Amino acid sequence: MYSFDIQRPTSVADAVSALGAEEAQALGGGQTLIPTLKQRLASPSVLVSLGAIAEIKGVCTGDDGALCIGGGTTHATVAKEASAYPALAALAGNIGDPAVRNRGTIGGSLANNDPSACYPAAALASGATIVTNSRSIAADDYFQGMFATALEEGEIITEVRFPVPEKAAYMKFEQPASRFALVGVFVAKYADGVRVAVTGASEDGVFRWTDAEAALSSNFSADAVPAAPSGDGMISDLHGSGAYRAHLVAVMTKRAVAAAS
Amino acid sequence: MTKVTMTVNGKTVSGEVKGNTLLTEFLREDLRLTGTHVGCDTSQCGACVVHVNGEAVKSCTMFAAEADGAEVKTIEGMANADGSLSVIQQAFQDYHGLQCGFCTPGMVMSAAALLKDNPKPTEAEVRDYLEGNICRCTGYHNIVRAIMAASGQDVPAVAAE
């Protein structure tokens, strides 16, 4: 690793101020950033650890019934405490491995927006709101392509608000070495329609499969899932071709609909 | 340099660390607690698992400065006060739950974290929990048997037998 200073502010306000320094970088649970630093793919001057900020940790239910998760909440805590949204708790409990889940955070995952990460699919399929130190961003506006988000420099995710669906499920076809999704599909059925979000497949990162949403909104059954989308623009690598991933999108959507509860 | 103070295996320790000093480096190189192993250094293998505030973490993927003020437990803190092996360690010996032994510290620490939350796991739960701990000797069957025994359950006839 290149050398850097590390700071551990205990409030969002102090963290925002520390992130104002030249080449400062926020550190969530570090389960992606620390390996990245080891490979010398990043060279911040200051790392601002968000791990000591109590006000952005925890799970609660908001006045509107939405499940609110602090940006610094670990995957393990979400798995244990998000019982109001079982599909989300199950997703969190299947990220990485137990030791990774004890460190990695929902805010870190969403800020990084890895094209194969699980949480972006949940946030997009749920129409979640990403709350930062300065504003609220709808999930539909937040994800802007592979590793790209609407976050400004130095902006911190303080909370994520998930409207709780009638039924939902996440199905992940796991890449066994990394445990990231080769393809993951999150299906969420709300009173006003079904949302389907796909991770791991597209070169543009997480996306909504609108054809499936339309079909499932009128008939919520696995048989209603349309034929696989085109493989154009899908990730093609040693783990699978674009066409293979496109095929998996339909398969995992059917499984998610069948499993939704 | 940053000053850090933490409790390691019940003893308060302090040290000066750089921003990029990993917890595993602080434990091994500053405190000379070399029981915590570094296998892959890429958070895959789990040889470096320790407990921080009671939770299993990969100490190669956490900075020492982040453990300031924390309670840390390593494999050196697992034995009983009289020096005899803990139930889990003894079970690893009894059931030959190690071959070369390199992954063993992480396996024992993960097993302890599992049994704290789930004192009577099924064989499938043990295997699932150990997904972040890799045994390069592929000695998983006896590791699973040891953990089942440590939980006070019948040791299953595992698939390999």
For A18-44, the DSSP string reads HTTSTTEEEESS-TTHHHHHHTTS---
What's the pLDDT band for B155 if we cut at 50, 70, 90? confident
pLDDT category at B157 given cuts 50, 70, 90 is low
CATH superfamily, with its number, for domain B87-150: [2Fe-2S]-binding domain (1.10.150.120)
Contact, B23 vs A99, CB < 8 A?
Answer: no
Residue of B62, B115, B147 to mutate, testing the A interface (most A Cβ within 10 Å of its Cβ) = B62
According to the model, what pLDDT value does residue A177 have?
A: 81
pLDDT in tens, A187-220: 999 999 999 999 999 999 999 999 999 999 999 9
Mean pLDDT of chain A: 97
Exposure string for B78-99, b = 16+ CB within 10 A, e = fewer? beeeeeeeeebbbbbeebebbe
**What tens digit of pLDDT does each residue of A27-70 get?**
999 999 999 999 999 999 999 999 999 999 999 999 999 999 99
Superfamily of domain A167-259: CO dehydrogenase flavoprotein, C-terminal domain (3.30.390.50)
Q: Do B61 and A31 touch (CB under 8 A)?
A: yes
Averaged pLDDT for residues A146-161: 97
Structurally, what CATH architecture does the domain formed by A59-162 represent?
A: 2-Layer Sandwich (3.30)
Q: What is the pLDDT of residue B158?
A: 60
CA–CA separation, B24 vs A193, rounded Å?
49
Minimum distance, in Å, between the CA of residue B42 and any CA atom of chain A: 6
Query: If you ran DSSP here, which 8-state letter would residue B135 be given?
Result: -
Hey, are the CB atoms on B57 and A103 less than 8 Å from each other? yes
Do the chains contact at B68 and A8, CB–CB below 8 Å? yes
Interface of A with B in 92-121 (CB under 8 A): 96-100, 102-103
User: If pLDDT is split at 50, 70 and 90, which confidence band does A13 have?
Assistant: very high
**pLDDT score recorded for residue A118:** 98
Q: For chain A, positions 185-244, list CB contacts with chain B under 8 A.
A: none
Return the CATH class of domain B2-77.
Answer: alpha beta
B23, B40, B66: best to mutate for the A interface, most A CBs within 10 A: B66
| Three-class SS state of A124 | helix
Contacts 24+ apart (CB under 8 A), A216-223: A216/A187, A216/A189, A216/A257, A217/A193, A220/A167, A220/A189, A220/A194, A220/A257, A220/A260, A221/A257, A222/A254, A222/A255, A222/A257, A222/A258
Domain ranges of chain B: 2-77, 87-150
Look at residue B99 in the predicted model and tell me its pLDDT: 95
User: Which tokens sit at A117?
Assistant: 């990460």
Name the residue with tokens 């590390």: A6
Give which of A8, A7, A13, A11 is closest to A134, Cα–Cα. Answer: A13
Q: CB distance B19–A5 less than 8 Å?
A: yes
Could you tell me what percent of chain A has a pLDDT over 70? 100
Task: Name every residue whose Cβ is closer than 8 Å to that of residue B82 and which is 6 or more positions away in sequence.
Answer: none
In chain A, residues under CATH classification 3.30.465.10 are 59-162
